């Protein structure tokens, strides 16, 4: 079994890495420091460069510029089979002509582990992934979830410096995926290794990760804990990708200490905390917003914008409103049950919030409304 010493993980540094193909740039000047023992997720839509970045770390793809260091040593010209990293693939990639035990023993044979030790390691890792007794089966005799457990066992059995996973749960159904997510998290806590996980599913990223790196168009938009990304998104892309949000877009002016924007007749403002963009986008999370039937019902000094109710959904734990903003875009509000309203679809209302809340970001959308 892998070494269980806490903090025994490996540090991985991706420094200014670019991967260019003939006609496209898959990864564009990406830098990322992965801490020892950390569970980091590379999250982004398909084609955002997250899988290419993982392949560059694993050594399956040659980088165009930059460098990759594992525990301070440059590895970008070390072939994949000498990097000592475990990799789990979305498509399992089990060897169909070998039994479960032979598959798992394969990395041990490459490392010239003595036969007796191999058998003990295989049995032990099969126990860990809950497949004791399956050692003589062939991959095609197993279900998808069982095959992926074998793939995990095979990638972990040789005590790799870090475990890289490329959408390992992507091919499984929802229930199984949720079960395996918890198992992966448990295994990570047990072995204390560095885990690098790729997914396009933000919920999965939130469940598993210590930190998340958000990829978009071959670049990293932001790296941080889930709370960082949700509460302090660095870009409009991150704000939209991580959870629901309502966005108010307008020209922004600043007097040095406060910024102001005129959103279709409503004045919005807040304290200046960083560079004030020209075209601004004020982002608010559904829990930060409230709905009032009239302007007078909103607390004095709060920011308020007139809206039209599209839907008022009762969720048991509270209400969820979908609102039409004056610029035609959709807003989302979640309120606790204590703040019941009798608003129906089509009604006019006000959405309001304490004026200092929200994150002001640059409006870098190509089309003004989405």
Partner 1 sequence: MKHAAPTRTLLALYTAMVAFVLIAPTVVVIPLSFTDKASLTFPPSGWSTRWYENFFNDPAWTAAFGNSLTVALIVTVVATAAGTAAAVGVSKWSRKRMAKAAQMFLLAPIVVPSIILAIGVYAIFLRLQLLGTLPGFVLAHSVLAVPFVLVSVSAALAGFDDRLTTAAASLGADRWTTFRRVMLPLILPGVVSGALFAFVTSFDEVVLSIFIKSPYLETLPVKMYASVTRDTDPTIAAAATMIMLLTTVIIAVGLLSMRRKKIA
Question: 4 or 111: whose CB is closer to partner 1?
Answer: 111
Question: 62 or 231: whose CB is closer to partner 1?
Answer: 62
* Residue 79 interacting with partner 1 (CB under 8 A): yes
Question: 81 or 174: whose CB is closer to partner 1?
Answer: 81
Question: 134 or 158: whose CB is closer to partner 1?
Answer: 158
* Residue 207 interacting with partner 1 (CB under 8 A): no
Question: 72 or 79: whose CB is closer to partner 1?
Answer: 79
CB 52 within 8 A of CB 26: yes
* Residue 20 interacting with partner 1 (CB under 8 A): no
Number of residues interacting with partner 1: please give it, by CB under 8 A. 25
**Segment 125-154, which members bind partner 1 (CB under 8 A)?**
154
* Residue 87 interacting with partner 1 (CB under 8 A): yes
The distance of closest approach from Cβ of residue 60 to partner 1 in the complex, given in angstroms and rounded to an integer, is 5
Binder among 4, 74, 77, 91 for partner 1 (CB under 8 A): 91
Distance CA(101)–CA(126), nearest Å, equals 9
The distance of closest approach from Cβ of residue 87 to partner 1 in the complex, given in angstroms and rounded to an integer, is 4
Structure-derived torsion over alpha carbons of residues 156, 158, 161, 167, reported in degrees to the nearest 10:
-30
Residues lying near partner 1 in the complex (CB under 8 A) are found at 58-60, 79-82, 84-87, 89, 91, 93-97, 106-107, 110-111, 154-155, 158
């Amino acid at each position: 079994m892998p070494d269980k010493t806490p903090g025994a993980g490996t540090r991985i540094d991706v420094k200014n890495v670019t991967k260019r193909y003939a006609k496209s740039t898959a990864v564009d000047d990406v830098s990322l420091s992965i801490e020892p023992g950390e569970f980091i997720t590379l999250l982004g839509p398909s084609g955002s460069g997250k899988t290419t970045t993982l392949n560059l770390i694993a050594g399956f793809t040659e980088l165009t510029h930059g460098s990759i260091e594992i525990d301070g040593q440059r590895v970008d010209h070390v072939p994949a089979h000498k990097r000592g990293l475990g990799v789990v693939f979305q498509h399992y990639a089990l060897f169909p002509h070998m039994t479960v035990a032979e598959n798992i023993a394969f990395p041990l044979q490459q490392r010239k582990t003595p036969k007796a030790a191999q058998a003990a390691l295989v049995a032990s890792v099969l126990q860990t992934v809950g497949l004791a007794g399956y050692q003589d089966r062939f991959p095609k005799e197993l279900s998808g979830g069982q095959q992926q457990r074998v793939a995990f066992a095979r990638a972990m059995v040789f005590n790799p410096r870090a475990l890289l996973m490329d959408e390992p749960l992507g091919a499984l159904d929802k229930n199984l995926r949720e079960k395996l997510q918890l198992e992966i998290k448990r295994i990570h806590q047990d072995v204390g290794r560095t885990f690098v996980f790729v997914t396009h599913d933000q919920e999965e990223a939130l469940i598993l990760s210590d930190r998340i790196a958000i990829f978009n168009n071959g670049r990293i938009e932001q790296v941080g804990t889930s709370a960082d990304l949700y509460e302090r998104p660095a870009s409009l892309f991150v704000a939209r990708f991580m959870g629901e949000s309502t966005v108010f877009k307008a020209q922004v002016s600043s007097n040095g200490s406060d910024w102001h924007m005129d959103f279709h007749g409503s004045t919005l403002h807040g304290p200046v905390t960083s560079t004030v963009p020209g075209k601004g986008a004020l982002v608010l999370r559904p829990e930060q917003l409230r709905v009032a039937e009239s302007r007078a019902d909103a607390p004095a000094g709060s920011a308020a914008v007139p809206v039209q109710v599209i839907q008022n959904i009762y969720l048991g734990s509270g209400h969820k409103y979908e609102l039409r903003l004056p610029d035609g875009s959709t807003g989302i509000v979640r309120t606790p049950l204590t703040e019941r309203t009798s608003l129906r679809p089509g009604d006019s209302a006000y959405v309001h919030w304490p004026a200092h809340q929200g994150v002001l970001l640059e409006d870098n959308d190509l089309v003004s409304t989405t």
